[in-house]
Chain A
Amino acid sequence: MKLLKGLTLGAMASALLLPTAVVAQDKVELVIESWRADDLVIWQDTILPAFEAANPGIDVEFRPTPNTDYSTALSTKLQAGTAGDLIMVEPFDFRLQMYLDGDLANLTDLEGMENFSDTAKSAWSTDDRTEFFGVPLAAVLHGWIYNADIFEELGLSEPTTAAEFTALLEAVKEDGRYTPIAMGTSQDFVPGLLGFQLIGPNYWKGENGRAAVIDGSLSFDDPAFVDIWKELASWGPHLVQGYQGVSYPDMQNLFTLGTSAVYPAGSWEIPIFNSAVDGAFKMGAFIPPAVDANGECFFNDHMDMGIGMNANAKHPEEARKFLTWLTSEEFAKIWADAMPGFFPLSTHAVQTDDPLANTFASWREQCGSTPRISYQIISRGEPNLDAEINRVTALVMNGEMAPEEAAGVVQEGLASWYEPQQGN
């Protein structure tokens, strides 16, 4: 008890009487709210020092929240007025409502916004694309990453059609030493994001199909969509035994430990895999194979990260200065070097020397690209389209729901609140 009392008195004095947040008076401190704890080191060591060196009056702090708590913590802090001046924003409808509610500032006339294409800016704009609320930071591309050593050992080559892809899976399975696909369905976002959204664009013909769903002329019970779920259902035998209980970290480890031939990737995996594989085997990447030999190819090119400004920012002027710096060529270069796989969205021509990232980027020349189908306009009601796609795709891959039924459930849910789809 004596010890306790002693400790307490000291602690109480220091804890209760000293408010923290002691900032030097002459410096402005900006806080960036973010869900990307992954990139903390790069912001702290590389990006922010470059800005601070050029702007000695401003201190910027990158303050990530664990990904799963980001949304909740952010909206709580915004409501109470304690959020940072700079806010990292997910694309499309994730944060549009936050802008419409007046929590995010209008950045339409921000100096430097002209350094982005309209497509890049569209992910952080109102539906009529006249107002913008986020500086586009990076895009991620979806495709397959493969273990080139296994391919060489088994005499396999990059597939270009769905039939070739199936043959490849069969060949790996036949050989028996490796798992064909490193994938598990334990977390719902994996089948949805890394399955459905990965191979889907080939089936719904990229941007045209996405636009057709939004205007109501294409519905989710169309054979094109049923076929996506059919292909996903056919993967079951090619996954590791017990894949229903395999989590996302598990599948990353399965692949990077060299046990699997292919991995349903996004380009965000590139830096992760580079360091995890660490030269143990060679990696390559191929675009999701086209549906048939003459078919056009499409892939998912997705605006992923942007940075907006708190509408009630304490230092709007400095915050805008920082945002303008994010539009510069200097930043694009730093970013491209530090974050291979997260492709800068500005029109400055910057190059990365990561071969895998360059393979992904080269697809932009060859094939049509489109963002994720459920991210704009059609996930604004209940039942939520994006969540429903994740849910039913997991069931389909687990063999607990037929592809046709999945298509019916998703379409019915969407049509229940989305008017353009109600005529179908």
Chain B
Amino acid sequence: MSSDNRPSAGVPIGAVGKHAVLIFFTALSIVPVLMILVNSFKSRRAIFSDPVAFPGPETFSLIGYHTVFVRSNFMDYYVNSLTVTVVSLVLILILATMIAFALAEYEFTGNKLLAMFFLLGIILPVRLGSVSMLQLMVSLKLVNTLAALICVYTAMGMPLAVFILTQFMRQVPREIKDAARIDGANEYRVFLLTLPTIRPAIATVAILTMIPVWNDLWFPLILAPAPETQTVTLGAASFLGQFLSDWNAVLAALSLSAGPILALYLIFSRQFLSGLTAGAVK
């Protein structure tokens, strides 16, 4: 088997097989997603009589998109979802970086215990705490505000972010920090000095924390169901009926709602890998 891919005399059979496997899995991942997009441009009858067909002159229909734009304030939903996602992400990055620095840098009593404490949050199913959480939001007067969602998502994203960022913070060479300390820098300045090292992790943390936030239906439903605070996922779900879902509208709304998160993913995906490279093997 050849490990390089310079065109040599005779294409190695291994390379063909390799690409065949990768193309197979790429198709397996992408084709169902394309089916959603393609069907969102078809009439209801056409979706179900031939789900794999592309829309033709007979079957092409924008009725789903029409319904979505007439029946819901999709632009407002976008703004809400983006606000919640981006603010949560920034808060997670700032707060988790500080924690990660402290956990990686200082030996103090309870350090290990604290690290374990921050893992608790990914072990327990969050829905479990719904009632207490809503009561808490009521007493803080945060119901039907985006701030409620931001608080919950920030807390939810913390464990994974702390976990990944701690790995990065451990890689900062000791000499840099000690040199700064000798020059009289206080601990906060030392912290700022280490920040450039976590840059590659930002994309990783971003991708892994944004996706569940963007797609979440439950917390918007109970914490912020008011029309002014609806997110795209909640907006899309309003077309799911008891006996008949308006599949045209659902598919259109879902295609629209997947757009920004896919775009954000593509933007970050170039960096995604570098974050994992340092964070993964430790």
Interface, chain A (partner B; CB < 8 A): 1, 4-5, 7-8, 11-12, 14-16, 19-22, 35-38, 40-41, 61, 63-67, 69, 73, 76-77, 79-82, 248-249, 252-253, 257, 268-269, 272, 276
Question: Contact: B238 with A12, CB < 8 Å?
Answer: no
Residue of B nearest to A35 (CB): B242
Question: Contact: B134 with A14, CB < 8 Å?
Answer: no
| Residue from the list B87, B138, B237 in contact with A8, Cβ < 8 A | B87
Question: Contact: A21 with B241, CB < 8 Å?
Answer: no
- Distance A73 CA – B234 CA, assembled complex (angstroms): 13
Question: Contact: B238 with A76, CB < 8 Å?
Answer: no
B214 at the interface (CB under 8 A from A): no
Report, nearest first, the 6 A-B pairs whose CB atoms are least far apart: A38-B241, A80-B134, A20-B228, A67-B242, A253-B48, A15-B146
Q: Per-residue 0/1 for B195-235: is the Cβ within 8 Å of any A Cβ (1 yes, 0 no)?
A: 00001001000000000000001100110011111000000
- Distance A41 CA – B146 CA, assembled complex (angstroms): 26
| Contact A257/B242 with A79-B131, A80-B135 known, Cβ cut-off 8 Å | no
Chain B nearest Cβ from A372, distance in angstroms: 16
B131-147 CB contacts (< 8 Å) to partner A: 131, 134-135, 137-138, 141, 143-147
Chain A nearest Cβ from B251, distance in angstroms: 13
| Residue from the list A4, A12, A69, A252 in contact with B244, Cβ < 8 A | A252
Question: Contact: B229 with A20, CB < 8 Å?
Answer: yes
- Distance A377 CA – B264 CA, assembled complex (angstroms): 53
| Contact A81/B138 with A8-B86, A11-B87, A272-B244 known, Cβ cut-off 8 Å | yes
B274 at the interface (CB under 8 A from A): no
- Distance A268 CA – B145 CA, assembled complex (angstroms): 36
Query: Total A-B residue pairs with C-beta atoms closer than 8 Å?
Result: 114
B105-162 CB contacts (< 8 Å) to partner A: 130-131, 134-135, 137-138, 141, 143-147, 150
A/B interface sample: 10 pairs, CB < 8 A: A1-B202, A4-B86, A35-B242, A37-B240, A40-B238, A65-B221, A76-B222, A80-B137, A82-B138, A276-B244
Chain A nearest Cβ from B188, distance in angstroms: 19
Q: Per-residue 0/1 for B76-106: is the Cβ within 8 Å of any A Cβ (1 yes, 0 no)?
A: 0000001110110010000000000000000
| Contact A11/B226 with A80-B135, A257-B49, A276-B44 known, Cβ cut-off 8 Å | no
| Residue from the list A11, A249, A268 in contact with B83, Cβ < 8 A | A11
Question: Contact: B243 with A15, CB < 8 Å?
Answer: no
* B residues less than 8 Å from A76 (CB atoms): 130-131, 134, 222
Residue of B nearest to A40 (CB): B238
Question: Contact: B242 with A36, CB < 8 Å?
Answer: yes
| Residue from the list A21, A66, A81 in contact with B238, Cβ < 8 A | A66
B171 at the interface (CB under 8 A from A): no
Question: Contact: A7 with B86, CB < 8 Å?
Answer: yes
Q: Which of A16, A22, A36, A80 has the most CB of B within 10 A?
A: A80
Chain B nearest Cβ from A159, distance in angstroms: 25
| Residue from the list A5, A40, A269 in contact with B243, Cβ < 8 A | A269
Question: Contact: A82 with B86, CB < 8 Å?
Answer: no
B45 at the interface (CB under 8 A from A): yes
| Contact A79/B240 with A4-B90, A65-B221, A249-B245 known, Cβ cut-off 8 Å | no
* B residues less than 8 Å from A8 (CB atoms): 86-87, 90
B239 at the interface (CB under 8 A from A): yes
- Distance A63 CA – B235 CA, assembled complex (angstroms): 11
- Distance A257 CA – B49 CA, assembled complex (angstroms): 8
* B residues less than 8 Å from A40 (CB atoms): 71, 238
- Distance A80 CA – B141 CA, assembled complex (angstroms): 12
Question: Contact: A37 with B242, CB < 8 Å?
Answer: yes
Question: Contact: B228 with A15, CB < 8 Å?
Answer: no
| Contact A272/B243 with A15-B146, A41-B71, A79-B134 known, Cβ cut-off 8 Å | yes
Chain B nearest Cβ from A250, distance in angstroms: 8
* A residues less than 8 Å from B146 (CB atoms): 15-16, 20
- Distance A79 CA – B221 CA, assembled complex (angstroms): 15
| Contact A15/B134 with A38-B243, A63-B225 known, Cβ cut-off 8 Å | no
Chain A nearest Cβ from B123, distance in angstroms: 22
Question: Contact: A77 with B222, CB < 8 Å?
Answer: yes
Question: Contact: A257 with B48, CB < 8 Å?
Answer: yes
Q: Which of A14, A38, A81 has the most CB of B within 10 A?
A: A38
Chain A nearest Cβ from B162, distance in angstroms: 20
| Residue from the list A5, A11, A73, A252 in contact with B221, Cβ < 8 A | A73
* B residues less than 8 Å from A64 (CB atoms): 238
Question: Contact: A16 with B147, CB < 8 Å?
Answer: yes
Residue of A nearest to B150 (CB): A15
Residue of B nearest to A64 (CB): B238
Chain A nearest Cβ from B237, distance in angstroms: 5
Chain B nearest Cβ from A340, distance in angstroms: 14
Besides A22-B228, A67-B240, 16 new A-B residue pairs in contact (Cβ under 8 A), listed by A number = A11-B82, A15-B83, A16-B87, A19-B145, A36-B241, A37-B238, A37-B240, A37-B241, A64-B238, A69-B218, A73-B221, A77-B134, A80-B131, A252-B244, A253-B48, A276-B244
- Distance A16 CA – B87 CA, assembled complex (angstroms): 10
* B residues less than 8 Å from A22 (CB atoms): 228
* B residues less than 8 Å from A253 (CB atoms): 48
Chain A nearest Cβ from B192, distance in angstroms: 15
Question: Contact: B84 with A15, CB < 8 Å?
Answer: yes
B247 at the interface (CB under 8 A from A): yes
Question: Contact: B243 with A268, CB < 8 Å?
Answer: yes
* A residues less than 8 Å from B90 (CB atoms): 4-5, 8, 12
- Distance A237 CA – B249 CA, assembled complex (angstroms): 35
B239-276 CB contacts (< 8 Å) to partner A: 239-245, 247
Question: Contact: A20 with B134, CB < 8 Å?
Answer: no
- Distance A293 CA – B92 CA, assembled complex (angstroms): 72
Question: Contact: B228 with A21, CB < 8 Å?
Answer: yes
Residue of B nearest to A81 (CB): B138
| Residue from the list B48, B82, B221 in contact with A69, Cβ < 8 A | B221
Question: Contact: B135 with A73, CB < 8 Å?
Answer: no
Residue of B nearest to A82 (CB): B143
Question: Contact: A21 with B144, CB < 8 Å?
Answer: yes
Residue of B nearest to A75 (CB): B131
Question: Contact: B243 with A12, CB < 8 Å?
Answer: no
Residue of B nearest to A17 (CB): B147
Chain B nearest Cβ from A187, distance in angstroms: 12
| Residue from the list B150, B226, B238 in contact with A16, Cβ < 8 A | B150
